[in-house]
Each structure stands twice: as C-alpha cells, then as structure tokens.
Amino acid sequence: MMRTVAAVAVAVLLAAAVAAEASELKVGYYDKSCRGVENVVKWHVARAIKANRKSGAALVRLIFHDCFVRGCDASVLLDPTPENPHTEKTAPINIGLAAFDLLDDIKAAVEDRCPGVVSCADILIFAARDAASLLSNGHVHFDALAGRLDGVHSHAAEAQQDLPDSTFTIAELIQNFKRKNFTIEELVILSGAHAVGVGHCSSLRARLTAPADQILPAYRGLLAGKCAKGPDPIVPNNIRDEDAGAVAATIPGFLPKLRKVKDFLDNSYYHNNLARIVTFNSDWQLLTEKEARGHVHEYADNGTLWDEDFSDSLVKLSKLPMPHGSKGEIRKMCRFVNHH
C-alpha cells in the first residue's frame, strides 16, 4: 500500500514539474519588473511598419524561423562570430531574413528602461504579435505569453534540418510539422503567412518549369521574367502585391485585384493557391493531399476563421520550448551572447 502511495506522490510531483515548466510563460509577465514594455515594443513596430510594411512581414517570418529551431530562444538573432561562424541566420534556408536592426532598436529602448530584465526572445514574440496585428488591421490578435530566456547556441545546420524547405513535397511538409507537434490543419494555417512578404527566386526555381496544372502559365511567365533580371531577385509572395506593369504584361485580367495597401495579412493566400498563382512549390503542394486541400478551401471561404486560427497557431508556435536542460540568459544585445 505504501509503495502505491509513494508512486502516486512521485507521479504527482512529476506532473507538477512539467506543469511548472509550461506555466513559466504567462501573459503580463513583465507587469511588475518592466511595466509598459509591450507598449515600447508596439510603438517601435508601428513606426517601422508605417515607414515600410515589409518590416512587419519580416517580423512575422522571424517568429516561425526562430521558434521552429531550438524553440523560441532568439537563437536566430545571433550574429556569426569567430568562435561560431555559422549561426542560424547564415543558413541558406534563412535567406532574406530581416528586421534585425529594428529588434536592435527595440532592445536598446527596453534596456534603457529596464536593464537586464527582458529577453530578446520575448521581444521577438511581442514584435511579431504586433506586426501580425498591424498588418491585418487588428484582425489577427492575441495576448502574448512571456518569460522566455535567450539561448546561447545557434547553428546553421540545425536551421537547415528543422525548417521546412520551399521545395518540400506535402509528405515532407506534414512530417516536418509533425516533429514539432503541429497538425496538417496548422501547416495550412501557418502557410497563410505567405499572404505577405517576399521570396527569393532561388527558392522558387522549380516553379519556372512546373506544368500548367501546378501553376498558371501566365503567372509562371511573370515569375520567369522577374527572375531573369539578376542573380537572385526577390518577388512578392502575394501576386496581389506585384507591380502593375508586370501584371499588365502577363495577366492583365488580374489588374483589378492588385492591392492598394501591400503586405496586408489576410486569407488571400488561399484564393491565390486555388487559382494556381502562388510562389513556392510548398504552397502548391497543399492542394495535393485531401485534408490539406479541404483546409485551403475552408480558409478561402472564411477569412474571419483564418484570422482566429492563425492567431491561435502563433500562440502555439510561441510556446515551443528550448531543448530540455538548455541554459538561458537575458542577453544585453540581441546579436551576441553575454560574455561571462
């Protein structure tokens, strides 16, 4: 009998330990230690987006590229150094990551206010949350959990291994997301972030020779024309953000659908996907599997549902933990680990 009671007690203690680990993150984490920090972050993000909406898209991309590798630990922000020349941001799969300067500015402002209190990892989550909200006119919104530490490890090889590639098949995408405990539905939801931002031609080369049942030939022509203009040009992820000249020359019927405000975060990605006018192979692949295709239709039909589900998926993403037993710190500067 005693042994059973002891076993139950141990099980309860273990459950409590797991719960404690999960409950370290909370909304309003800095209410006492750095009051108003979320307002400081939001002010900087709003100013940056007003100047250039692309910086908002870059922040939304960063939350995924940070959290999918070693959890949400700001490891993606670390610059290469002589001791570690190959940090995550040098990985080919992280081509075009941006908004690092903006995060430096925010971190400096927060350090002025509360030195050594707020992690870069939390600043990145706050900033991505604000960017998603501002780019969607408030339709994407959630309370951000905080209480993360900054990681001290960052390796390009881990980014290459953990992040999904734009060339992936649907089977590879599903497997990649499953490793992080994300479902097929969540894969489709998070792919909707491609309503904003830009892609490099090197990431969409396969689309330039894809058959007509995979990509609208006129759109393929538009991409081919743009990609011929240099070693590795960038193109908008969303055809609705294309320049009018390129669209007039290739898909004139699409001109009325171009957006006056570019980089608007909405469900237009799903409409584009069904019309075979998306940039990456990994986008088109969502139509090749029954469950994923069903969700593409679902979100094309219901933009409000996508806003809500995308908000929930960003919260889930923001909970991805550092590897078990990792050491963390509060960095003084987001690009470098502290020197002890």
In whole angstroms, give the CA distance from residue 315 to residue 80.
Answer: 29
Residue of 65, 139, 271, 295 with catalytic role: 65
33 marked as part of a ligand binding site: no
294 marked as part of a ligand binding site: no
In whole angstroms, give the CA distance from residue 314 to residue 63.
Answer: 8
283 marked as part of a ligand binding site: no
150 marked as part of a ligand binding site: no
104 marked as part of a ligand binding site: no
C-alpha dist (Å) from residue 67 to 94, 234, 244, 320: 13, 24, 36, 6
Structural Rg of the chain based on CA atoms: 21
268 marked as part of a ligand binding site: no
In whole angstroms, give the CA distance from residue 182 to residue 169.
Answer: 17
211 marked as part of a ligand binding site: no
69 marked as part of a ligand binding site: yes
Contacts of 180 (CB under 8 A, 6+ apart): 68, 162, 320
Is 65 known to be catalytic?
yes
Q: Is the C-alpha dihedral spanning 235, 129, 259, 296 positive or negative?
A: positive
75 marked as part of a ligand binding site: yes
Residues marked as catalytic: 65
Q: Residue positions in the annotated binding site for heme b?
A: 194
Q: Residue positions in the annotated binding site for substrate?
A: 164
Q: Residue positions in the annotated binding site?
A: 66, 69, 71, 73, 75, 88, 164, 194, 243, 266
Q: Residue positions in the annotated binding site for Ca(2+)?
A: 66, 69, 71, 73, 75, 88, 243, 266
